[in-house]
Structure 1
Amino acid sequence: MIIFGSRGYLYQLAILTLVCGRCGNPSAHTLRKRVTKFTLFFVPLFPLSVKYATQCTFCGVENRTTKEQAEQLLAQSAAMPQGPQQGYAQPTPQQQGQNPYQQ
């Protein structure tokens, strides 16, 4: 008796801030890769299909994307700075003792 079938794997590639096409909100979207693999005796052997999609975390709508679009979005997310935003710098030692409300 041979046991075979398929199994799906879901990979989260990135979290992007995009404007949703359905709800119109600028919200976080997850970029996901769904791979369906052929299994033999519960061991995954080779992929049968690979699909990419983005999902809005605000309204939940999922949009399919092509591999090229997914790679573009992934490259854009890697190019964005991951550090703190500008304007939130540490105060200098001279500024720490000053009270801005005293004249």
Structure 2
Amino acid sequence: MIIFGWGKVTKKFLGAIGRLQCGNCNNEAQWELCVLRVWFTLFFIPVIPYKTTYCMMCPVCNSYIEVSKERFEELKGALSGGIDDAIKYAGKTPTQISYLKAMEEQRRREVSEKE
């Protein structure tokens, strides 16, 4: 007996792209650039991705805005820090990353005020 299915969705977050107001939850937050993939599964193990969606996602309610692949590549190239942030924040959730970035910004302001 072979058990197969589809619908397993994975999210890959690539970084924050800016503060935007969500049309769904009306919160202003640091939106994330992400790739959503829907997988074909075999024995509940994701095997083959059959749909890829490029999007910007609200971290509060997880609603998203789809973007074209070209626009996605532009936004991905414009991410500040790119690889450095990927290494620096490896293993952190988007909420933790936003918090750490806010704390770094606060420290920078405190240092600039002292000077």
TM > 0.5 fold call = yes
TM-score with structure 1 length normalisation?
A: 0.62
CA shift, 1:20, in A, is 4.8
Task: State the superposition RMSD in angstroms.
Answer: 3.4
Distance of aligned partners of 1:70 and 1:19 in 2 relative to their CA distance in 1, 3 Å threshold: same
How does 1:20-99 map onto structure 2 within 5 Å?
A: 20=21, 27-56=29-58, 62-78=64-80, 88=112, 91=115
Which residues of structure 1 form unaligned runs of 5+? 92-103
2:97 alignment partner in structure 1: none
Which residues of structure 2 form unaligned runs of 5+? 86-103
Distance of aligned partners of 1:16 and 1:90 in 2 relative to their CA distance in 1, 3 Å threshold: same
Per mean C-alpha deviation after superposition, the further-off stretch among 13-22 and 60-69 is 13-22
| Contact 1:28/1:58 (8 A) holds in 2 | no
Question: How many percent identity over aligned positions?
Answer: 24
Distance of aligned partners of 1:30 and 1:41 in 2 relative to their CA distance in 1, 3 Å threshold: same
CA shift, 1:50, in A, is 0.3
Output the amino acid matched with 1:65: V
C-alpha separation in 2, matches of 1:8 and 1:21: 22
Per mean C-alpha deviation after superposition, the further-off stretch among 39-48 and 10-19 is 10-19
User: Quick check: which one's strand share is greater?
Assistant: 1
1:10 alignment partner in structure 2: 11
TM-score with structure 2 length normalisation?
A: 0.57
Kindly provide the CA deviation profile for residues 9-67 of structure 1, in whole angstroms up to 9, marking residues without a partner as x.
111111111555857x6x52211210011111122211100001113457875311012
